[in-house]
Amino acid sequence: MLPPSLTLVGAGKMGGAMLAGWLRAGLDPARTIVIDPLPSAEAGALCGAHGVALNPSAPAISDVLVVAVKPQGLSEAVPALVPLIGPNTLVISILAGKTIADLSARLSAPAIVRAMPNLPASVGRGATGAVASAAVSSRQREQADALLACVGLVEWLDEEALIDALTAVSGSGPAYVFHLVEALADAGRAAGLPREMADRLSRATVAGAGALLDADPREAAQLRKDVTSPGGTTAEALGVLMREDGLASLMREAVAAAKRRAGELSD
């Protein structure tokens, strides 16, 4: 259930990607407003193609206000945001590290959804965590869910504190996977493959495995077992990766470090 009207403040990488997803999903462009003082060419073209009002002189109050400026740009944006919030406006913030209490106090808005999308949202394949303040109605929550689902998976958290753990898994996770591609390519070169071929093979392997995970509902552990013949080459490699101080242990340490940092960066 998309909201009848929406205002997006900040049409950068993430805001622009979400806007594209919403318009694809049928958000009414005539009741959509975008505010961004220096919109990118892509954001300008998207608004132009759909007839979305870009930086109107007197923007109306919308059902949903999505805040997608950089966290460090929030203070500067607040004076322009407050007049866009009515008594029934739901504010959705995707600002990393900005808590519901902080947003609610600065914007004088009780109904807040704090969301943490990730980079693959830009290709409609994101994984977003969301948490709602007590004042968010079930209808508003449905609207937030519908909006966030336009760019991928949505997981709702009951406790805001869990957003740091979620950030450490799905928020930062795409970078871990990109690093896996680098590491596999590097290992391929060390094993004798030409550099560019190793890069291409590693990239295609990770992207292909990701696509397979998406297409096949079986658990990752089962897919792994299915490609691991006893005594074969994969089993030999997994014996290294799955030893006590192997990938799982390293990943736990990495996620704990990211979670700790997310807590430090939160207001």
Ligand X SMILES: NC(=O)c1ccc[n+]([C@@H]2O[C@H](COP(=O)([O-])OP(=O)(O)OC[C@H]3O[C@@H](n4cnc5c(N)ncnc54)[C@H](OP(=O)(O)O)[C@@H]3O)[C@@H](O)[C@H]2O)c1
Residues near ligand X (CB under 6 A) are 9-15, 35-38, 68-71, 73, 76-77, 94-96, 116-119, 171
Q: How far is the CB of 170 from ligand X (least distance, A)?
A: 9
For residue 230, the minimal CB distance to ligand X (Å) is: 41
Neighbours of 169 (CB within 10 A): 17
Q: Which one, 164 or 199, has the nearer CB to ligand X?
A: 164
Question: Of all helices (H) and strands (E), which one includes residue 113?
Answer: strand 112-116
- The residue (of 68 and 185) whose beta carbon lies closer to ligand X is 68
Least distance between ligand X and beta carbon 251 (Å): 20
Helices 74-81, 100-107: axis angle to 10 degrees equals: 50
Question: Considering beta carbons, is residue 118 or 143 the nearer one to ligand X?
Answer: 118
> In the bound complex, which residue of the shown chain has the CB atom lying closest to ligand X?
12
Three-state SS for 54? strand
Beta bridge partners of 115: 130
In the complex, least distance from residue 75 CB atom to ligand X, rounded to whole angstroms: 9
| 127 to 48, 124, 229, 231, 257: CA distances (angstroms) | 28, 9, 32, 36, 20
Q: Nearer Cβ to ligand X, position 17 or 90?
A: 17
For ligand X, which is the closer residue by CB, 91 or 198? 91
Q: Which helix (H) or strand (E) holds 67?
A: strand 64-67
Q: How far is the CB of 20 from ligand X (least distance, A)?
A: 12
- What whole-number distance in Å separates Cα of residue 64 and Cα of residue 75? 20
